[in-house]
Structure 1
Amino acid sequence: MNKLIDAKGKNCPIPVIMAKKEIDNGNENFIIEVDNKIAVQNLQRLANSQGLSSSVKEENEVFKVIFLNDNNQTDECIECNEILSEIEDNKNQISTWSVFIGKEIIGDGNEELGKSLMKMYFYTISEGNDLPKSILFMNDGVKVITLNEQAIEHLKDLEEKGVEILVCGTCLNFYGLQEKLTVGKISNMYDITNSMKESSKVITL
């Protein structure tokens, strides 16, 4: 009997990450339940990218996405790269990339959505195998590491895994947030600049 995974109520990319972990553990025949069509589409793309077949059954607004091993399916997913890029199996790759956070939200527009996206970004990379060398916070970005409680928990997990987290001390002082810093190291422009120079690439959010 195929294993049943309950991912109802969870927004993407969490269902994708749950399914990817199952595949990484050697299980290629399972069912994952979700309650939104976006998750269904992303799970089907994951199955396709892993050489697996998938089918969907809907009942009472709950979608059962069935993953099956199918050696004849080899097409590679392209459209889902943004969701899956941070959870690809890169266990043997040495991480030399860094993330620069210069504002409290991801993108422009709705503030609540931007904060939620920031939280989900750190969750996604913390669940992956290719972790960044460092995460750098400056200007408005220091609010993420002091005020976004869920993001802070994911950042603590990343720090425990060896990711260096540097936070601009001048920026903390400017916003009066020195006492709220519970993860990372207070740093300066010199150290943050050097960390960028030592990275093969710097991703700016």
Structure 2
Amino acid sequence: MNKIIDAKGKNCPIPVIMAKKEIDSENNNFLIEVDNKIAVQNLKKLANSQGFTIDLKEDNSVFKVHFSKNCEDETNECEACNEILDGLEEDKKNLGTWSIFIGKDTIGSGNEKLGKMLMKMYFYTILESDELPKSVLFMNDGVKVPTLNDQAVEHLKDLQEKGVEILICGTCLNFYGLEEELNVGKVSNMYDIADAMKEATKVITL
């Protein structure tokens, strides 16, 4: 085992993303520590999907998940490893043809704090995925995300740097008095946002 990853205190999908980064960097023998059973189950699914074996130990409510894969040929001729590495160039954050529409500043209904945290985690997950959206569109209460959700803003800035178009409804910013609070994206209008929806092959609405 050549690396120990501390993912304690991190909610899914962050532990899975951290483990996937090790796999993508050709690390076939590492341990990741988590402190919740949901993360353990999702790590097991990742291991199975990538051809890894798992050794699990629990120590004082900390789950130690050991990923391993045998590759006898150290010159990187291992077929199983090469299958994982195949197409890495295509995986480098290609822009898709789909869009995300955000009409509120939380995901789901119920606890507001949880909903805002889920919004932050959603954009982190999108940022780490193989294909990025063509655009992210904010209207109504959704304009509070690129203005008031600092952690989500950081992920949106990274998406913007990778070519994702971020459009924010100017009328909505004005309604909430948030014109001066905008931290990322382009102030837009109904026409441009509707046009972006029409051009998208699909629109995911949160």
Percentage identity across paired residues of the two chains: 72
Tell me which residue corresponds to 2:35: 35
Return the letter of the residue paired with 2:174: N
Q: 1:30 to 1:89 in 2, by over 3 A?
A: farther
**Alpha-carbon offset, residue 54 of structure 1:** 1.0
Q: Is the 8 A contact 1:15 1:43 kept in 2?
A: yes
- C-alpha root-mean-square deviation of aligned residues, in Å? 1.8
Q: Secondary structure at the match of 1:140?
A: helix
Q: 1:89 to 1:8 in 2, by over 3 A?
A: farther
Tell me which residue corresponds to 2:131: 130
Q: Distance in 1 between matches of 2:126 and 2:205?
A: 14
**Alpha-carbon offset, residue 147 of structure 1:** 0.7
Return the letter of the residue paired with 1:146: T
Greater Rg over alpha carbons, structure: 2
Return the letter of the residue paired with 1:132: P
Q: How does 1:82-121 map to 2 (within 5 A)?
A: 91=91, 95-121=96-122
Q: Secondary structure at the match of 1:26?
A: coil
How many equivalent residue pairs?
189
Instruction: Deviation per CA, 1:127-176: give whole Å up to 9, x if none.
Output: 22211100000001001111111111111111111110000000000000
Tell me which residue corresponds to 2:174: 173
**Alpha-carbon offset, residue 24 of structure 1:** 0.9
Q: Distance in 1 between matches of 2:28 and 2:67?
A: 6
Instruction: Deviation per CA, 1:37-85: give whole Å up to 9, x if none.
Output: 11111111111121212121011221110112269xxxxxxxxxxxxxx
Q: Distance in 1 between matches of 2:178 and 2:95?
A: 34
Tell me which residue corresponds to 1:74: none
Q: Is the 8 A contact 2:32 2:65 kept in 1?
A: yes
Structure 1 residues 39-48 or 133-142, which shifts more? Answer: 39-48
TM-score normalised by the chain length of structure 1: 0.87
Q: How does 1:1-205 map to 2 (within 5 A)?
A: 1-69=1-69, 91=91, 95-205=96-206
Return the letter of the residue paired with 1:113: L
**Alpha-carbon offset, residue 90 of structure 1:** 5.8
TM-score normalised by the chain length of structure 2: 0.87
Q: Is the 8 A contact 1:55 1:66 kept in 2?
A: yes
Tell me which residue corresponds to 2:77: none
Q: Secondary structure at the match of 1:104?
A: coil
**Alpha-carbon offset, residue 28 of structure 1:** 2.3
Q: Distance in 2 between matches of 1:45 and 1:53?
A: 11
